[in-house]
Amino acid sequence: MYRYRTGLLLQRVQERTTATKALLFSELKKAVLGAFLIGAAAIALLYTTFFVFLLVTEAAEALLPRWAAYFLAALVMLLLSLAAAGLGLHRVLRMRLAGAAANAYRKARQAFSPSW
């Protein structure tokens, strides 16, 4: 009787663990696809930004010498990229998503672990 209950409990734990792993992997697949699409959009935005700054530079040539217009546009692009990189790094360092997922998995394991 005792072995039957222990075996049944272990079977339920394994089923719950398998279900949790399947759920995590399905969410991971969605996240990878989303990251790929965001990366593709970022590349398109990068090319678009380049051509917008090229347009602004050509328009600024009416007021400034050609070298000064290109220098100004390059300086603005550099400042914007540094600001974006700083903001992105700040957000990544604040993010605790991976730790939260690991804690949820540990809590699920503890909830279904036998307490003998």
Q: How far apart are CA 88 and CA 39, in angstroms?
A: 14
Reference 88, options 39, 24, 32; nearest CA is 39
Record the pTM: 0.46
Terminal CA-to-CA distance of the chain, rounded, Å? Answer: 15
Residues 17/109, Cβ–Cβ less than 8 Å = yes
Q: What is the pLDDT of residues 48-90, one digit of tens each?
A: 988 988 898 999 889 999 999 999 988 988 998 899 988 887 7
Question: Whole domain around residue 25: which residue ranges?
Answer: 2-112
Q: For the chain, how many structural domains are there in total? A: 1
Per-residue confidence band for 37, with pLDDT thresholds at 50, 70 and 90: very high
